[in-house]
């Protein structure tokens, strides 16, 4: 049997549909202002935020051992103590964490052109949001950017046995939509999870969003398509479907 038209598209969330990195930077800037104006920190404020950023990038979260709020408050507590010395200051750490988190969520929005694209795509194919990450954190982002209504289903990695790039979460997503892996396209900004996962699961195609023209430094998964913006996706889907028409 030959190839059929694309029936479903799986979207990553962070830095694919919403600018998580940009929102996080804005949150850090607010914390720097707080530390400098209220607590009279000088260059230490930026050092603390840089340390927290490193801790977030290396974060290993185990739901059975702690909650995400405690873990991330501890990042701030450790960064403050490492920078300023003295006794741990949990109260200040909590103030910093909640300011960073609330500012970050305020800036997590779906752009109008992204909303329009999703609305148009959904007239032709089924749409599923497939995001890795801790349950509470990802659900807060989903609520903040109000994206639920644009999707037929939402799957959060932290709520499943395995996250991307494990094939199981892709098969689960296919079952939710009543489609086969060969009917689906995965769209995301991370080669190691979004693209590798789509390849592992045998999806029809993978689309890598490479906003900054990054060149991978090491051998890495090879996406079927590379775009600089998620808004280029409709043209990619048309290209895939044209190949079906030609082969037919």
Residues 127-133: what's their mean pLDDT?
A: 97
- What percentage of the chain's residues is helix, strand, coil (to nearest 5)? 55, 10, 35
Q: Would you state the pLDDT for residue 248? A: 53
Residues 136-163: what's their mean pLDDT?
A: 97
Residues 224-244: what's their mean pLDDT?
A: 94
Q: Would you state the pLDDT for residue 84? A: 95
* CB 27, CB 72: distance < 8 Å: no
Residues 156-172: what's their mean pLDDT?
A: 97
Between the CA atoms of 115, 116, 118 and 123, what dihedral angle is there, to the nearest 10 degrees?
140
Output the six-digit token pair for 87: 């006794």
226 Ramachandran zone, left/alpha/beta (phi>0; psi -120 to 50): beta
Alpha carbon distance 103, 230 (integer Å): 24
Q: Would you state the pLDDT for residue 1? A: 43
* CB 15, CB 189: distance < 8 Å: yes
- Assign 153 to helix, strand or coil: strand
pLDDT in tens, 51-90: 999 999 999 888 888 899 999 999 999 999 999 999 999 9
Alpha carbon distance 204, 201 (integer Å): 9
**Does 217 have pLDDT greater than 80?**
no
Q: Would you state the pLDDT for residue 140? A: 98
Contacts of 103 (CB under 8 A, 6+ apart): 23, 26, 27, 30
* CB 7, CB 125: distance < 8 Å: yes
Write the CATH number of the domain with boundaries 8-19+109-246.
3.40.50.1000
Contacts of 64 (CB under 8 A, 6+ apart): none
Handedness of CA 155, 112, 104, 186 (dihedral sign): positive
**Does 224 have pLDDT greater than 80?**
yes
pLDDT in tens, 81-106: 999 999 999 999 999 999 999 999 99
Mean pLDDT of the chain: 95
Residue that is written with structure tokens 């990042």 in the block: 75
Cα 82 to Cα 23, 39, 101: the distances in Å are 25, 17, 21
Q: How confident is the model at residue 218 (pLDDT cuts 50, 70, 90)?
A: confident
Q: How confident is the model at residue 216 (pLDDT cuts 50, 70, 90)?
A: confident
Order the strands of the 225-227 sheet from edge to edge. 153-156, 126-131, 8-11, 184-188, 205-209, 225-227
Give percent above pLDDT 70 in the chain: 98
**Does 244 have pLDDT greater than 80?**
no
Residues 236-243: what's their mean pLDDT?
A: 92
Q: Would you state the pLDDT for residue 38? A: 97
According to CATH, the superfamily of the domain at 21-107 is Haloacid dehalogenase hydrolase-like domain (1.20.120.710)
Q: Where do the domains of the chain lie?
A: 8-19+109-246, 21-107
Tell me 193's DSSP state. Answer: I
Q: Would you state the pLDDT for residue 247? A: 64
pTM: 0.94
Beta-sheet strands, E only, within 162-239: 184-188, 205-209, 225-227
Residues 112-136: what's their mean pLDDT?
A: 97
**Does 239 have pLDDT greater than 70?**
yes
């Amino acid at each position: 049997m030959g190839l059929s038209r694309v029936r479903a598209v799986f979207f990553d969330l962070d830095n694919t549909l919403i600018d998580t990195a940009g929102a996080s930077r804005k949150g850090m800037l607010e914390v720097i202002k707080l530390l400098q104006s209220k607590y009279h920190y000088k260059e230490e404020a930026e050092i603390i935020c840089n340390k927290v950023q490193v801790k977030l990038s290396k974060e290993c979260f185990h739901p059975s051992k702690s909650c995400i709020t405690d873990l991330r408050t501890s990042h701030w507590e450790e960064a403050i103590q490492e920078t300023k010395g003295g006794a741990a200051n949990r109260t200040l750490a909590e103030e910093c964490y909640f300011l960073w988190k609330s500012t970050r969520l305020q800036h997590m929005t779906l752009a109008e052109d992204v909303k329009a694209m999703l609305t148009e795509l959904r007239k032709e194919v089924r749409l599923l949001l497939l995001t890795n990450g801790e349950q509470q954190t990802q659900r807060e982002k989903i609520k903040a950017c109000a994206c639920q209504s644009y999707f037929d289903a939402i799957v959060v990695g932290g709520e499943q046995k395995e996250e991307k790039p494990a094939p199981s979460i892709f098969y689960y997503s296919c079952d939710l939509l009543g489609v086969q892996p060969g009917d689906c396209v995965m769209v995301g900004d991370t080669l190691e999870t979004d693209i590798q996962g789509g390849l592992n699961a045998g999806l029809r195609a993978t689309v890598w969003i490479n906003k900054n023209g990054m060149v991978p430094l090491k051998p890495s998964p090879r996406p079927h398509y590379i775009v600089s913006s998620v808004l280029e996706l409709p043209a990619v889907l048309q290209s895939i479907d044209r190949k079906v028409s030609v082969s037919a």
